[in-house]
Amino acid sequence: MATSTDKKIEISDLYVDYGALSALRNINLDVYRNEILGIIGPAKSGKSTLLQAINRTIDFIPGARVRGSITIDGEDVRKIKDINSLRRKIGMVFPLPVGLPLSIYDNVAFAPRMAGIRNKSQLDEIVERCLKQAALWEEVKDRINNLGTKLSGGQQQRLTIARALSHDPEILCLDEFSIAVDPVTTMRIEDVLKELKSQMTIILVTNLVQQARRLADRTAFFLNGELLEIDKTDVIFSDNPAHRATYEYVTGIFG
């Protein structure tokens, strides 16, 4: 059984409302160090909202109201005044690749430069390391100064992952990263995530239940803004999870 020292993120009594709309209700959830936590559920079940609450990008949404507690290493994210320091700790990868209109090199070097790194050899090392971690280096090393937006969709998504890794995050959040990625590239990114787990905590929101089954150590099932069930992934995908709705979702009866 995990102890308190294993907990990277602790979420307690979390509610999120968008005006009169309740997006999350009474969420209590721990995320352990160096695990891949899969989050599954139908559309509008609150999965993406949870990620936004963790890294406080929800602050940008007019009318959003957050109640409850989210702590990272015991520090309440709602009380952190230096939001940039929080977001350096949390790498985010969104459903569609969002490339900066810069070269491949500058896409990855952007965050380190913003953090004050100016040494060319140090930046070179960061760019190469992150592109290798994202399984992209061999494909782009000879055109590193080309525009990142000229890459294919799958390559741009891997560039997004490299950029998310460039500030050495402790947590990597992926929000349905494979929506715009072909199956071969998806599998390559999945292999990358398995390797990255030894270095960081990963939260994987996915609309592909089999992706959670392949990757996640534990899986959480959200339904209508509530955390219906969380358990080891093999339990969630067994014939006997705690809730019938979980079984019906993972087997495709609904969703």
Number of other residues whose CB lies within 10 A of the CB of residue 39: 28
With beta carbons less than 8 A apart as the criterion, state whether 134 and 192 touch.
Answer: yes
Helices 153-165 and 104-114: crossing angle in degrees, nearest 10, is 20
> Residue 90's closest CA among 27, 15, 174, 24?
174
pLDDT score at 232: 98
Residue written as token pair 């079984």: 247
The reply to whether 144 falls in a domain is yes
Write phi, then psi, for 198 (nearest 5 degrees): -70, -15
Q: Is residue 255 part of a domain?
A: no
Domain count, the chain: 1
How much is the pTM?
0.92
**Could you tell me what percent of the chain has a pLDDT over 70?**
98
Residue 41 is assigned to a structural domain of this protein:
yes
138 within a domain of the structure (yes/no): yes
Report residue 4's pLDDT band, with 50, 70 and 90 as the boundaries: low
Lowest mean pLDDT, pick from 90-99, 115-124, 208-217, 243-252: 90-99
Q: For 101-122, write each residue's pLDDT tens digit.
A: 899 999 999 999 988 999 999 9
Give 171-211 pLDDT, tens digit per residue. 999 999 888 788 888 898 899 899 999 999 999 999 999 99
**DSSP for 36-62?**
EEEEE-STTSSHHHHHHHHHTGGGGST
CATH number reported for the structural domain that contains residue 225 in this entry: 3.40.50.300
Calpha distance 172→192 (Å, rounded): 12
Among the ranges given (3-7, 47-51, 242-246), the one the predictor scored with the smallest mean pLDDT: 3-7
Confidence of residue 85 (pLDDT cuts 50, 70, 90): confident
Residue 49: inside a domain = yes
Region for 245 from its dihedrals, namely left if φ exceeds 0, alpha if ψ lies in -120 to 50, beta otherwise: alpha
Residue type at 36 in one-letter notation: I
Across the chain, what does the average pLDDT equal? 93
Provide the domain limits for residue 31.
4-250
- pLDDT-based confidence at residue 228 (cuts at 50, 70, 90): very high
